[in-house]
Amino acid sequence: MSYLLNEKYIVHVVDIIFNDEFVQYEDNNNFFFHKLDITDSQAINSLSKNFIDEMVNLDVLINNAAINPDINDLSNNFSRLEDFPLSSWEKELDVGLKGAFLLSKFFGPIISKSDDGVILNVSSDLGIISPDQRLYEVEGLDESEQPVKPITYSVIKSGLIGLTKYLSTYWRPNVRSVTICPGGIENNQDDEFKLKVSNLIPVGRLANVNEICSVVEFLISKKASYINGATISVDGGRVIW
């Protein structure tokens, strides 16, 4: 966000909650926050109509929202496929895929008026490879009770790759679309987990968040004007092993 504001982008954030992260930008005249549920078609449609009515141009859409379940929260662990509730499937796909679809549907036509339009979808290394469920194993639990990365994560993140491919030709030549597939990002995870993940990554460690942001910055910039429809891994080589 800092980079975008420094580069004189005017940034509109759509989120269901006003995160601590946004507080620092509150007084910036180029930062606009829209408290919206991205699964609410009417709300997204009406926001896009405001943009049209007020003749606000839009060059870039970043589909980043997700519900990231805490796999190690055993008090609420229905992550295994056999127990996975339909309600969780619907809720998570709603945010991860329907939200990206609705934002693309209603804001894509505005972006298509730009000469340098970009829709960037935030997927994951797990959009490309299967989760290694051994990473989430808890000692002492039976196989049938072991927490796992839920099926929804894989389905959403590979679905976003398909969304990108579709969008990369739809509003041609005005709108490029790209998927970024980050690997695990350093975020105070416990040391044992970090060691286990790092052993699966040729670069030998998790990503620093700036290593992901710098690639996003590049992909939405004119410097990436010939990258379209691509799936860009930023995972220290995790998917190559």
How far is it, in rounded angstroms, from Cα 148 to Cα 28? 41
The widest CA-to-CA distance across the chain, in whole angstroms, is: 60
Contact mark string toward ligand NAD, 105..144, x via CB under 6 A: -----------------x-x--------------------
Query: Site for ligand NAD (CB under 6 A): which residue of 44, 61, 71, 95?
Result: 95
Q: Which residue lies nearer to ligand NAD by CB, 146 or 189?
A: 189
- In sequence order, what are the beta bridge partners of 182? 234
How far is it, in rounded angstroms, from Cα 59 to Cα 108? 9
How far is it, in rounded angstroms, from Cα 101 to Cα 119? 11
Q: At 147, list the tokens.
A: 């927490």
* 182 is a contact residue toward ligand NAD (CB under 6 A): yes
* 72 is a contact residue toward ligand NAD (CB under 6 A): no
How far is it, in rounded angstroms, from Cα 131 to Cα 128? 9
Whose tokens are 């408290």? That residue is 35
Q: Are the C-beta atoms of 219 and 227 separated by less than 8 Å?
A: yes
Selected range binding ligand NAD among 48-56, 63-71, 79-87, 110-118, rule: CB under 6 A: 63-71
* 41 is a contact residue toward ligand NAD (CB under 6 A): no
Query: Site for ligand NAD (CB under 6 A): which residue of 5, 10, 11, 16?
Result: 16
Selected range binding ligand NAD among 33-41, 52-60, 79-87, 167-175, rule: CB under 6 A: 33-41
Query: Site for ligand NAD (CB under 6 A): which residue of 43, 67, 135, 151?
Result: 67
* 23 is a contact residue toward ligand NAD (CB under 6 A): no
How many whole angstroms from its chain centre is CA 99? Answer: 11
Tallying the residues shown for the chain, one arrives at 241
Residues that bind ligand NAD (CB under 6 A): 15-17, 19, 37-39, 64-68, 95, 122, 124, 182, 184-185
